[in-house]
């Protein structure tokens, strides 16, 4: 007996949204099963992303849950249509950890990306030498023979910022992430120069929280927030540690991280001041 394919992030997002809509409409899984003439187990599997849903059945559930706005219905239909699609990175599934696949799925779908990084620079703004040095410094997680492939993947990820209708990136970094000489002096200086260049993209905003601000809400650690609609409102938060990664989607969790990000943004230098600081640090490395 073969295992079922692992649910995609899109499939789980669709299932999570259908569960939220069902609960908001005060409907039970039995109500949904009755509407579709199926078992409650199938409804549960749809809501966990384990199985997909036909467009006709999706329409029945949206009617049952009172989803009438055309924009909302179109969004759910698009998510259902794409729920089984797998990006180019799935071709490397034998060597990419499943959690990293989730991360790439979220990033590829996002219209808005908000990233807080206190210790390292955001992956979408890294140079190849910086990425390679980071991976080489983490032997407990990355085997040496996989480094070239992972560097290539990280460089390919940058296309989300330059493709037609690119994602909007708002990145906030702590000053120590700028000052750490990852990869040596030359790589460090090249990375800082690249940050200044990348920040010129119209869809990229980069801010720095200086050390002299003191303690900030960012003590919770690094996180990435993804918005999937025309609004930056977060639809998922991605967290990563040494040995695992996961994403959050509950409304209370998303709201909490949203408050933290806004606090960090208000504590940070404005974009022009931030670029001045990055340029000054780059000059220091050249002296």
Q: Which CATH number covers residue 51?
A: 1.10.260.40
The backbone torsions φ and ψ at residue 84, rounded to the nearest 5 degrees and listed phi first, read: -100, -5
List C-alpha distances in Å: 197 to 163, 180, 208: 17, 19, 15
How many angstroms separate the CA atoms of 105 and 101, rounded?
6
Is residue 191 situated within a structural domain? Answer: yes
Sheet with strand 236-240: strands edge to edge: 204-209, 168-174, 112-117, 223-227, 236-240, 245-248
Q: Given CA atoms 96, 102, 103, 107 in this order, what sign does their dihedral have?
A: positive
Residue 51 has pLDDT above 90, yes or no: no
Residue that wins the pLDDT comparison between 68 and 216: 68
pLDDT per residue over 10-41, tens digit each? 777 788 889 889 998 999 999 999 999 999 99
Q: Given this model, what pLDDT does residue 16 score?
A: 80
> Do residue 41 and residue 159 come from a single domain?
no
> Do residue 70 and residue 120 come from a single domain?
no
Cβ neighbours for 147, distance < 8 A, ≥ 6 positions apart: 132, 135, 136
Residue that wins the pLDDT comparison between 279 and 99: 279
| Structural domain containing residue 62 | 9-81
Q: Given this model, what pLDDT does residue 1 score?
A: 39
Measure the N-to-C terminal CA separation of the chain; round to a whole number of Å. 64
Residue that wins the pLDDT comparison between 266 and 235: 266
Residue 117 has pLDDT above 80, yes or no: yes
Residue-averaged pLDDT of the chain: 86
Beta bridge partners of 247: 238
Of 54, 81, 108, the one marking the end of a domain is 81
Residue 199 has pLDDT above 60, yes or no: yes
Q: Given this model, what pLDDT does residue 59 score?
A: 93
> Do residue 93 and residue 77 come from a single domain?
no
Q: Given this model, what pLDDT does residue 95 score?
A: 57
Confidence of residue 98 (pLDDT cuts 50, 70, 90): low
> Do residue 23 and residue 122 come from a single domain?
no
Q: Given this model, what pLDDT does residue 262 score?
A: 95
> Do residue 66 and residue 140 come from a single domain?
no
Identify the residue whose tokens are 């990033």.
107
Of 40, 65, 81, the one marking the end of a domain is 81
Q: Which CATH number covers residue 255?
A: 3.30.870
Confidence of residue 251 (pLDDT cuts 50, 70, 90): confident
> Do residue 54 and residue 148 come from a single domain?
no
The domain total for the chain is 2
Predicted model pTM: 0.76
């Amino acid at each position: 007996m073969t295992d079922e394919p692992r649910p995609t992030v899109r499939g789980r997002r669709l299932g999570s949204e259908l569960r939220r809509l069902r609960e908001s409409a005060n409907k039970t899984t039995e109500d949904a099963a009755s509407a579709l003439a199926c078992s409650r187990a199938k409804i549960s599997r749809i809501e966990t992303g384990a199985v997909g849903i036909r467009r006709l059945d999706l329409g029945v559930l949206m009617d049952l849950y009172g989803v009438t706005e055309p924009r909302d219905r179109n969004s759910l239909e698009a998510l259902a249509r794409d729920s089984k699609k797998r990006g180019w990175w799935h071709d490397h599934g034998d060597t990419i950890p499943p959690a990293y696949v989730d991360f790439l799925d979220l990033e590829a779908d996002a219209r808005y990306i908000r990233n807080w990084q206190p210790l390292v620079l955001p992956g979408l703004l890294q140079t190849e030498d910086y990425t390679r040095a980071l991976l080489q410094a983490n032997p407990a997680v990355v085997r040496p023979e996989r480094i070239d492939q992972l560097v290539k993947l990280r460089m390919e990820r940058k296309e989300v910022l330059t493709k037609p209708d690119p994602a909007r990136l708002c990145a906030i970094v702590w000053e120590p992430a700028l000052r750490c000489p990852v990869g040596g002096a030359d790589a460090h200086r090249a990375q800082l120069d690249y940050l200044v260049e990348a920040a010129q993209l119209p869809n990229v905003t980069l801010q720095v929280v200086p050390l002299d601000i003191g303690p900030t809400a960012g003590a919770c650690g690094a996180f990435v927030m993804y918005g999937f609609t025309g609004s930056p409102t977060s639809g998922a938060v991605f967290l990563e540690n040494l040995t695992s990664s996961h994403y959050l989607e509950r409304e209370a969790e998303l709201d909490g991280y949203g408050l933290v990000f806004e606090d960090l943004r208000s504590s940070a230098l404005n974009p022009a001041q931030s670029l001045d600081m990055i340029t000054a640090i780059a000059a220091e490395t050249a002296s």
